Structure 1
Amino acid sequence: MDQELAPFILFTEHHVRPETPHLKLELALGSKLTEDSGCHVLATIHRAGDSHEEPCIFRWGRHDATAAFLLFHHTPDGLRKIEIASEPPSAAVQAPLVVDGWGISVRELAPGGRVRSMITLPKRYRTELVSGEKYELVWPGGEIAIWDWGTEKQHAGRELGVKSPKICLPAARATLEFNKFGQATEGRGSPPPISASERIPGAPIMSVMLECNKNVPQAGVADVKISVVYEAPAGSPAITFHSLPFQSWYGPREGYRLYRRRANAWESIEDDTTGFMIVDDPDVSIHVSQHEDFASLQPGQTWTSSDRLQGQGLGALPDDMNVGDVFRYVFKGVELDWWDWGDSSDHAETIVKLPCFIKGRVVDPKDNGGRPKLKVPASNSIEFTIV
C-alpha cells in the first residue's frame, strides 16, 4: 500500500498472529464496464504458509466485504477518498452460527488453499463512478472473529462461535478504470432485445408474457406474473428445459429491465441488490427431473413464475420514486443453455452439471448435446403507475 492510502489501512501483514491461519486477500475487477453490466469484484482468499497443518473454517460473507470497502478517485492532486454511505452494522456477522453445509459465508481452507467469491458492489459505490476516470477499491484490512480449526464436515451440526485470537485479513486493493458507465435510455446505447426472427429452425418455439397491476402503492410492491408458453400443435413432443433463465438471467440482450419515464425518454433503473456467491467449489450433478430449476411442458402448456418489484432497499424499485412515477418492465429475451425433447419421465435418469452456486448456466454438457439453440424473444412490456 502506498503512502496516500496508509492513513486508511487498519490491518497489514504485520498484524497477522502466529497462532492463527495466515490469510491473504486479493481483489480483481473487470477493467471495462458498460451500461448493461454490474460492477463485480472477484475476491480470492489465500492461506499462506503457516506453522499449522490442519484445515480451518471461518465466516466471511457479503456483509463482511461490502461494509468495509473504501473507494478512492485518482485526481491530478493524488488519491481522493469518496465518502460512501455505510451499511448499518449486522449483528449476525459476529453471532455464532450452526455449521449446516449450506451457509455460503462459511469457508474452509487447507494450508496452501484458496477460496473465491464473486461480489456485486452495491449501487452506492457504482453511482460514484464516472466514465473515463480511474479508481482504487480498497479493503482496509479486518479481523475474522468466527472461526476454528478443522473442516466443515468435522463441525457439521455444531455451533461455530468467536475464537480468540481473531484471524487478521490484511489490506488489499484493486484498480478500476472506466471506459463507459452510466444510465441508459431505452433504444439508445443498449443492445436491442432478442426478436422472433432470430429463432433457430429445429428448436422449440417458446414465448413469454408478463402481467402486472396498473397501479402500485408507493409503499407497496409490484407483483409480476411470468408466463412461458410452449407453442406447438397437438401431437408434438414434450420438452424439458432449464427454467432458471426465465427468472434471473442477465446479459446485454437477456433478462429483465426496469425503466422509469423521464420527460420523453425511458431511464434505465439499476437493481441495487448486492450479490455474493462462491465460485470455486466443484460442479454439482443434478437430475433434471427432480430439480426445481428444470421444468417440462406439453404442447400448448404454460410454465409460470413471478417476480416482485419493491422499493425501500428491498428490490428493484428506486428509493426516490414518487407518486405519479410511471415504470415499464420488460423481458429482453434469452438463449436457453439447456433443453431437450421429452417430459420428466423421459428424463428420469438425465444428469447435467451446474456450477457450485447452482443458480448458473449448465456447464456439462456445454453445447446442449448439439441440439439447435433455443432463442426466446422479448416479452410484451408492462407499465404501472405509483399511486
Structure 2
Amino acid sequence: MASPQELSSAEEDNLLDLPSPEIFSETPTHQSNSPLTIADLNPGTPLLSVQLSAPQTTPLKTKFAITLKITYTGLLLNPDKTTTPTTRPITFRPWTLIAWHQTEPQREGFWLYRHRPINNNNNHDNPWEFTEMDDGTICTFAIYDDPDKEVPVSKGNHFTNSFISLRPGETWTWEKTLQQEYWSLLPDDAVPADRFRFCFKGAYVDWWDWGDLEEHKQAGTTVLLPCFEAARSIERETDKKMPALVVPGAEEGVEFVIVDGST
C-alpha cells in the first residue's frame, strides 16, 4: 500500500510565510445552508476528516489552488455517535468530494464567499456575500444518450472513474484550482483587496466499501455510472447495501486576499 504522501494527486502549494489573515467574527451564510457535521453521519460508517489549506494572498490571472486533504481517522461511528477504533481499509469514489458544481442538496460541496472593503476601509460591518464559482469560458462536451457503463473499482484514468483506498491514518490530497492565467472561477469584478473565504460544506459519497483496491480488483467489483461518468453512481439491485457515507465539512474555511500583481 502506498504511503500517505504517495496518495497525493498534486504537490502542495508552498504556503506564503505571512502572518495569519484576520478572521472576521461573523460567519458567512447563504440560505441557511449549514455544513454537514458528525450529527449527519450514519452508524456503521468510517469517520473521515477534512482539512483545507491555501496561500494567504494571490494576484489575479495567476495559478491559485486550494488544497483539500481527506484523512481516514480509523474510527467507526456507533449508533450513539460515539466511535470505535477499526483497522479495516476503505475504498471510495471521490467524485462527489471534488465535483465542480453541487447544488442538490445545497449543504454539499464547495462554497465561495467574498468580503469587499468599503471606501478602502476593511470594515467588519460589510457582509460576506455568496458568489458563484463559474468561469463561463471552459467548454465541455458530454454524450447523455449512450448506455450506462460498468466501471471497475480501480485507480481509473480520470477523477470521474477513479477510486481511492485508505488505511487508518492515511490521507488523500487533491488540489482545486480556482484560477489560471487565462481563466478564473473568481468573480469577473474581483479586484485587489477583495477577501474571499472558500468553504467545504461536506459531501455524501456516492459509492464506498470496506477493503482496498487490490481486494476489489480480485473480487471484480464494478460500479455503474452514467455514460458521461461525471455524476453520481447508479444503484443496482445486485449492489451490496452499504450505509450512506457522509464526509463532514471542514471546521473552518480558508481565507485569501487578492493583491496587486503589478509590482
Same fold at TM > 0.5: yes
Instruction: Using structure 1 for the length normalisation, give the TM-score.
Output: 0.49
Of Structure 1 and Structure 2, which has the larger fraction of its residues in strand? 1
1:216–1:384 CA contact under 8 A, matched in 2: yes
Equivalent residue number for residue 317 of structure 1? 186
The amino acid across from 2:130 in the alignment is: S
Shift of 1:221: 3.0
Structure 1 residue 365 and structure 2 residue 236: aligned?
yes
CA distance in 1, matches of 2:142, 2:216: 29
Shift of 1:218: 2.5
- Aligned residue for 2:39, secondary structure, equals helix
Counterparts in 2 of 1:355 and 1:318: CA distance versus 1, 3 Å: same
Equivalent residue number for residue 336 of structure 1? 205
Equivalent residue number for residue 304 of structure 1? 173
Shift of 1:353: 1.0
Shift of 1:367: 9.6
Counterparts in 2 of 1:186 and 1:278: CA distance versus 1, 3 Å: farther
1:339–1:368 CA contact under 8 A, matched in 2: no
1:205–1:376 CA contact under 8 A, matched in 2: yes
Shift of 1:188: 4.3
Counterparts in 2 of 1:290 and 1:365: CA distance versus 1, 3 Å: farther
Counterparts in 2 of 1:308 and 1:188: CA distance versus 1, 3 Å: closer
Say how many residue pairs are matched.
203
The amino acid across from 1:261 in the alignment is: H
- Within a 5 Å distance, the mapping from 1:1-387 to structure 2 comes to 186-232=28-74, 236-248=87-99, 250-251=102-103, 252-262=106-116, 263-274=125-136, 276-292=141-157, 293-310=162-179, 314-348=183-217, 349-365=220-236, 369-379=240-250, 380-387=252-259
2:135–2:186 CA contact under 8 A, matched in 1: no
Per-residue CA distance 1:233-287 (angstroms, 9 max, x = gap): 6761100000111211512111101110145321111122455532221111111
Q: Which runs of 5+ in 1 are unaligned?
A: 1-184
- Aligned residue for 1:245, secondary structure, equals helix
Q: Which runs of 5+ in 2 are unaligned?
A: 1-26, 76-84, 117-124
- Aligned residue for 1:386, secondary structure, equals strand
The amino acid across from 1:303 in the alignment is: W
Shift of 1:369: 2.4
Which one scores higher on RCO, CA 8 angstroms, separation ≥ 6?
2
Structure with larger Rg: 1
RMSD: 2.3
1:289–1:344 CA contact under 8 A, matched in 2: yes
| Percent identity for Structure 1 against Structure 2 | 38
Shift of 1:311: 6.8
Equivalent residue number for residue 143 of structure 1? none
2:193–2:258 CA contact under 8 A, matched in 1: yes
